[in-house]
Chains A and B, each alone.
Chain A
Amino acid sequence: MTRQHADDALRERFRELRGEAARPGRVPDLEAMLARARSAEAEPPPLAVVDGAAASAGRSRLSYRRLARAGAWASAALAATVAGLLLTDRRPSDEAEFEQLVAAYSADAWRSPTSGLLEVPGMELTRSIPSIGAPVRGLDPSTLPAREPAAPEENL
């Protein structure tokens, strides 16, 4: 059998198949299909889905899948962001750290490690201004030895 004959034989087989596919009652009614397409086009999408039009329902399912996929991606991205923040941001914030440094180095709180060596007896006298008639802080006047009055001739 030549190549051309072999092709013709195949073509004949396909012709039979075409006849079988086009047998009466098998091919759907064109007018009904076009009418459904026109009505599905005219209707808003939700009604088209309720109406059961295969095309709209398929599109609706497709949209739902796309939305679900987008939602899943968004959730995953959010979870990854939160996890990243929890893992990397364990140190106190810069402001808190700065406040701690200010508190540590403020004049009231800070003490030199050797400041204790400067504390000697009577040191408090250097921190006050004495006044006449007032006892000196830290000295009781009654404990002082009484002074004898001076001789008149000595006062001369």
Chain B
Amino acid sequence: MDAPELTRDELEAQLSRLHEASFGWALSCCGWNDADAEDVLQTTYLKVVSGRARFGGRSAFRTWLFGVIRQTAREHGRRARSHRERAERLAREPVPAQGPSPHESVERAERARALRGALEELPERQRDVLHLVFYQDLTIREAAEVLEVSLGTARVHYERGKQKLRALLAEREPSGGAT
């Protein structure tokens, strides 16, 4: 049985609560391109507000919303650059200076850039599962729902993805990464 439909205010309250996380997921789905991620998120919100994407209550709202974002990113990303190109772009990207302690900020930004570059080299499913579990704190079961795969498949992607990500980070940061 479907849950009662959310009102416009309830929908917008849910979107507001998840906005930052949704942008992070959209970034991951768009190869960490801010403009693409914003376009995808805007289109997703339009779908939700207009009722073209309707929450049926069969899963958690966050799981459903992430699924819509992923689908929208796929539609949006047909003309997008390949992941390899994205990884190369991320490697060339200048590190933004920020915060009160420039050295620490730059180091953190460097580590974040290395992680993004390594993630972009993973197969899509592995990258998505790792993002949903480690970045968004979803369970593997919830990640499987977002990606519309079985729990077993998600587990395999999770384990293989972790293994490969550690290897990639070790290559990029021989002095010590997440190994």
Which residues in A have some Cβ–Cβ distance to B below 8 Å? 1, 6-7, 9-14, 16-23, 26-28, 30, 33-34, 36-38, 40-41, 53-56, 58, 62
Contacts and interface: CB of A to CB of B under 8 A. Distances in A.
Interface of B: 12, 15-16, 19-20, 23-24, 27, 34, 38-39, 41-43, 45-50, 75-76, 98, 108-109, 111-112, 115-116, 130-131, 134-135, 162, 165-166, 169, 177-179
A55 B43 contact: yes
State the majority secondary structure of interface residues on B. helix
19 contacts: A1-B179, A9-B179, A10-B134, A10-B165, A13-B115, A13-B178, A17-B115, A21-B24, A27-B19, A27-B23, A28-B23, A33-B38, A33-B45, A40-B46, A53-B42, A55-B42, A55-B46, A58-B39, A62-B75
Contact of A33 (B24, B42, B177): B42
B42 A37 contact: yes
Contacts of A54: 39, 42-43
A1 B177 CA distance: 12
B108 A20 contact: yes
A11 B134 contact: yes
A58 B75 contact: yes
B12 to A, nearest CB: 6
Given A1-B179, A12-B178, A17-B116, A36 B134 contact: no
A120 B115 CA distance: 117
Nearest to A10: B178
Contacts of B38: 28, 33
Closest 10 CB pairs of A and B: A55-B43, A14-B134, A9-B178, A20-B112, A55-B46, A37-B45, A41-B50, A37-B49, A37-B46, A54-B39
A6 B179 contact: yes
Contacts of B41: 28, 33
